[in-house]
Structure 1
Amino acid sequence: MLDQITPFVVDLASSPLVYLTLFLLCLVDGFFPPVPSETALVAVAAVAATSGQPVLAVVLGAAALGAIAGDSIAYAIGRRIGLQRLRNARRPRIAAAFAFAERQMQRRSASLILIGRYVPVGRVAVNMTAGATGLPYRRFLGISAVAGIAWSTTSIGIALATSSFLHEPLVAAAVSMVVAGGLGLAVDRVLGRLQRRRAARTAATVVGTVTDREARPTPATDQTPRAARAMTAPRPTTCTVTTGGTARP
């Protein structure tokens, strides 16, 4: 049944429904890998390049928005399920994908999310792990937007470059992963520099606060030892009282 999806989408190339169909395919593919969104996207782009229908810009936008929405759904599922349940996946391949994503998420999240967008099982594992590990959604959404746009642009570019690649999804995936890897390294470097600058500013602020506290004069207090105060304290005096007889102390 899934094998018939791509021919069905190609048949809709001259209909406005093709945009909605591509959006839904890319959305579902974000959390259900068997859906062949890449193949359908490349095929529709090839038809558009040769016949002028559908409009390539709208195809790109529909695919990118669907990919971003699907990634966000996978992120929400991961946050809902939790990290422990992801580790205990029944299928070894899926469990291994989640384990790898968990190890790499904290160090190179941008590269991982961008490259994972081009791997059907990998994108689900990466995005769900991002949610389960508590990666801030604002950061995830920004990286996912870059990944979705890059993924749809690369797929359409491959279709425009040569029609001989239309039936070679592995070649398309390999080229896409190279492009995604370069984008991921660039984004990670930019984020790393921003984080280092933020950490440096925070450290400078802390050092300045501590220095100001040390420079403030301490209020004068009575530092006289307790024993010395006791020795210098006035002693009570005795007096004699005359009662008409012998004076008694």
Structure 2
Amino acid sequence: MPIDLLTTPWALAVMSVLVLGDAFIVVIPGEVAVTALGAISASAGAPPLWAVILCAALAAASGDIACYLIGRTVGIDRWGWMRTVRVQRALQWARLRLDAGTATVLFTARFVPFARLAINLVAGASRIHAPRYFALVLLAAAGWAVYQASVGALVATFLPGGPVVAVIVSIAVAIGLGALIDVLTRRLRR
């Protein structure tokens, strides 16, 4: 795909769809799309970084809110797959975390794909106060979008080689940072 296509408004639309889809199907590369467009923005000058961040934040918040509404209206035990041991463990984990501190959990879960899905479904099923939840999700999504796009933009700014190199390296850096955060989080829990 020529880089020129990634500098058009269509790139923002595709990124937004990927981020929104990532709320439901966690293997969709929403994070990668935001990081890549952050790198393209810094290296090619378009789309504007603020637009990447805004579109990513709105798509992420919309996906999280949709999961909340599904949890609130459908519940978390309607279908057979929701009653499997693995899913029930994840939902119980989410319940305990939400009871401990809603704001902290929502901000943290925004960066952890499977946790994000479980937390948002349980938040809805638990009937957490919607206006407070929506405000926290918007803030968490904005912070996430700034982080993801900034990783790409910073790598592209300091790395010579053009947009393609910037995208590849920024995605590797973002994955590396995510892995490092996972390792540190596990060690802190012990």
- For the criterion TM > 0.5, the same-fold answer is yes
- What is the rounded CA distance, in whole Å, between the counterparts of 1:52 and 1:34 in structure 2? 29
Change (3 A) 1:102 1:88: farther
- What is the rounded CA distance, in whole Å, between the counterparts of 2:127 and 2:116 in structure 1? 17
Decide which structure has the larger Cα Rg and report it.
1
Q: Which residue is 2:150 aligned to?
A: 157
- Please tell me the residue identity of whatever aligns with 1:122: A
Q: Deviations over 1:36-92 (max 9, x none)?
A: 100111011111111101111111100000001101100011112224448973554
Q: TM-score, normalised by structure 2?
A: 0.79
Q: Which runs of 5+ in 1 are unaligned?
A: 1-6, 178-249
Q: How far 1:27 sits from its partner (Å)? A: 1.4
Let me know the Cα RMSD of the aligned residues: 2.6
- What is the rounded CA distance, in whole Å, between the counterparts of 1:93 and 1:106 in structure 2? 20
- Is 1:111 the counterpart of 2:104? The answer is yes
Change (3 A) 1:98 1:125: same
Counterparts of residues 1-249 of structure 1 (less than 5 Å):
12-85=5-78, 89-162=82-155, 163=166, 164-174=169-179
- Please tell me the residue identity of whatever aligns with 1:171: G
- What is the rounded CA distance, in whole Å, between the counterparts of 1:145 and 1:109 in structure 2? 14
Change (3 A) 1:172 1:38: farther
Q: TM-score, normalised by structure 1?
A: 0.62
Aligned residues: 171
Q: Which structure has more RCO (C-alpha within 8 Å, separation ≥ 6)? A: 2
- What is the rounded CA distance, in whole Å, between the counterparts of 2:133 and 2:62 in structure 1? 12
Kept after mapping to 1: 8 A contact 2:151/2:170:
yes
- What is the rounded CA distance, in whole Å, between the counterparts of 2:92 and 2:79 in structure 1? 8
Give the percent of matched residue pairs that are identical in Structure 1 and Structure 2: 28
Kept after mapping to 2: 8 A contact 1:87/1:95:
no
- What is the rounded CA distance, in whole Å, between the counterparts of 1:176 and 1:134 in structure 2? 30
